[in-house]
Structure 1
Amino acid sequence: MHDGPIQALQAAARGAPPAGPVLPRLVIAGATGLLGNEVLRRLVGLRHFRAAEVLAREPIRTGLRGVGAMLVPGDDPQAWPPGAADTGLVLFEPPRLFYDRERALWTPAPGQLPAVADWMRRSGVRTIAIVLPHAQGRLPEALKRGLASLDEHAVASLGFDRVLIVRTAQKPGAAPPASFLARMAGWMLGVFRYMVPSSEQPVRSTKVAEFVAAALQLAPAGIHVASSETVWRAAQGDVREAVRRWLVR
């Protein structure tokens, strides 16, 4: 039975159902590697965003419902036209070259952080989260919980409502082939690797992703920097509660 004019008028008189809160839009630069994949899956799975886009060099199918690809015209973010997003996420993990999808994604170099952040700000982003890997034990104690470089200061000065910087210990890369003397020197220096505190050791990608997701949901306005020790301690128990304690300090 087809609806007639009376039924249509009655439906219009009832009005539309009350609208819920408008969810923010998410854009991710560097959704590659184990960490990028875990962060993307967790943020999309929590349904805290009405749409998510990953920056890509060429058209791709993301494989995740609600996730699209935004093609970027070249490697210089300063030349990109503005997009449309409320929350931005920047990761620096290189793509896994045996994944065709990841080879098509655009991944920033560390030196491009200010340019990427500036593009996100021009695109309407009010909250930016940055996951920064660093060499174990190399960051001075005085800088672990604050802005540690001119690039980070530049990002903080762009006028975001919230800036979240999450530092994670970087896994040591494979050593290239070398001469016998070089290998011997590397072995001797490798002894110092065991002197790095456990709290500065790398954390599983799933735990880092959980930390980032909780921080995006709970962080108030302002600049918040999580040291690698903070992330490591959070990974040992209830991540969400650890993030809450970190943010109220």
Structure 2
Amino acid sequence: MSSASPLDALRAAQRPGPATPVRPHMLVAGATGPLGNEVLNRVVGGQKYALVQVLARERYTEGLRGMQLLPQAGDDPAQWPLQIAEVGLIMFEPPRPFYQRERALWTPQPEQLKAVAQWMRSCGVKTLAVVLPHDMGSLPQSIRQGLANVDEQRVAALGFERLILVRSAREPAKRRLGNFLQRTAGMLLSALSYMVAQSDRPVRAMHVARLVEAALLQAPEGIHVASPERVWRAAQKDGLHAELQDWLKARHGS
């Protein structure tokens, strides 16, 4: 049995190995609240991205490997310096007051959606996911699976290769009611909330995070809108894979 010569061994060692996939960079706006925290842990911990940069108001020591806070001066994205990224994620859940890390982060207001998306597009982002919360039972049937307003239409017109909109239901904010009529109206509205369909009720943050993470990795080119019903079905036992197949693959024409 012949053995390889030293020259053959040297040539073999110099041959290039299999190409290592280049992991994209991600920009995140609004990594606050239970949902933002859950999504951030998944996209950073999953190690699918070379670097996850999170927009912040101030510097804060962060121990997550693969994550970097990106302090911005002011609330006007048009004035922010450009970064280099291929993937973007925008969420609107407000920070929890007792979490110092979350108080240091920058969270957009709904009216800033188009400006933040435009800044991310200028940074080179090709895939954008937006988690759009709404009070349960308040979203008209006609816009659940399409673009809901002018801002969303403007974002869609920015030229992203992949645009993912996830409509996540939330509990209505509690209001302080003063006089008798206000309290009576509050009681009636509270009673009506029990009539909301189960599939339109909020689901746990971890389930929404799983759907967002998977959609970012699997969505083909185009615009993909996840209705509240789809988010709810994906949260059920063994429902995520089936919903992704029905939502993303069907739109891809397979």
Normalising to structure 1: TM-score of the pair? Answer: 0.92
- Residue 237 of structure 2: aligned partner: 237
Once residues 241 and 54 of structure 2 are traced to their aligned partners in structure 1, the CA distance between those partners, rounded to angstroms, is 25
- Offset at residue 137 of structure 1 (A): 1.8
Once residues 17 and 97 of structure 2 are traced to their aligned partners in structure 1, the CA distance between those partners, rounded to angstroms, is 47
Q: What is the percent sequence identity of the aligned residues?
A: 52
Once residues 189 and 75 of structure 1 are traced to their aligned partners in structure 2, the CA distance between those partners, rounded to angstroms, is 35
Once residues 34 and 43 of structure 1 are traced to their aligned partners in structure 2, the CA distance between those partners, rounded to angstroms, is 15
Contact 2:58/2:104 (<8 A) preserved: yes
- Offset at residue 177 of structure 1 (A): 4.2
- Residue 5 of structure 2: aligned partner: none
- Offset at residue 248 of structure 1 (A): 2.6
Once residues 148 and 177 of structure 1 are traced to their aligned partners in structure 2, the CA distance between those partners, rounded to angstroms, is 30
- What amino acid sits opposite 2:164 in the alignment? L
Q: For residue 40 of structure 1, give the secondary structure of its aligned residue in structure 2.
A: helix
- Residue 74 of structure 1: aligned partner: 74
- Residue 175 of structure 2: aligned partner: 175
- Residue 132 of structure 1: aligned partner: 132
- Residue 248 of structure 2: aligned partner: 247
Once residues 181 and 140 of structure 2 are traced to their aligned partners in structure 1, the CA distance between those partners, rounded to angstroms, is 31
- Offset at residue 150 of structure 1 (A): 0.4
- What amino acid sits opposite 1:35 in the alignment? L
Runs of 4+ off more than 6 Å: none
Matched, 1:149 2:149: yes
- Residue 224 of structure 1: aligned partner: 224
- Residue 214 of structure 1: aligned partner: 214
Counting only pairs closer than 5 Å after superposition, residues 157-196 of structure 1 correspond to structure 2 as: 157-196=157-196
- Offset at residue 141 of structure 1 (A): 1.1
- The size of the alignment, in residue pairs, is 240
- Offset at residue 179 of structure 1 (A): 2.3
Once residues 67 and 197 of structure 2 are traced to their aligned partners in structure 1, the CA distance between those partners, rounded to angstroms, is 38
Once residues 243 and 225 of structure 1 are traced to their aligned partners in structure 2, the CA distance between those partners, rounded to angstroms, is 12
- Residue 101 of structure 1: aligned partner: 101
Once residues 131 and 175 of structure 2 are traced to their aligned partners in structure 1, the CA distance between those partners, rounded to angstroms, is 24
Q: Which moved more, 1:51-60 or 1:13-22?
A: 13-22
Once residues 219 and 190 of structure 1 are traced to their aligned partners in structure 2, the CA distance between those partners, rounded to angstroms, is 38
Matched, 1:57 2:57: yes
Once residues 62 and 19 of structure 2 are traced to their aligned partners in structure 1, the CA distance between those partners, rounded to angstroms, is 29
- Offset at residue 171 of structure 1 (A): 1.4
- Offset at residue 175 of structure 1 (A): 2.3
Q: For residue 194 of structure 2, give the secondary structure of its aligned residue in structure 1.
A: helix
Deviation string 1:57-112 (CA, Å, 9 cap, x unpaired) is 11112221110011112101111121111100000000011111111100000000
Once residues 31 and 179 of structure 2 are traced to their aligned partners in structure 1, the CA distance between those partners, rounded to angstroms, is 37
Once residues 164 and 18 of structure 1 are traced to their aligned partners in structure 2, the CA distance between those partners, rounded to angstroms, is 32
Once residues 63 and 110 of structure 1 are traced to their aligned partners in structure 2, the CA distance between those partners, rounded to angstroms, is 29
Structure 2 segments unaligned to the other structure (5+ residues): 1-9
- Offset at residue 240 of structure 1 (A): 3.0
Once residues 63 and 96 of structure 1 are traced to their aligned partners in structure 2, the CA distance between those partners, rounded to angstroms, is 19
Q: For residue 112 of structure 1, give the secondary structure of its aligned residue in structure 2.
A: helix
- Offset at residue 16 of structure 1 (A): 6.4
Normalising to structure 2: TM-score of the pair? Answer: 0.90
Q: For residue 39 of structure 1, give the secondary structure of its aligned residue in structure 2.
A: helix
Q: For residue 117 of structure 2, give the secondary structure of its aligned residue in structure 1.
A: helix
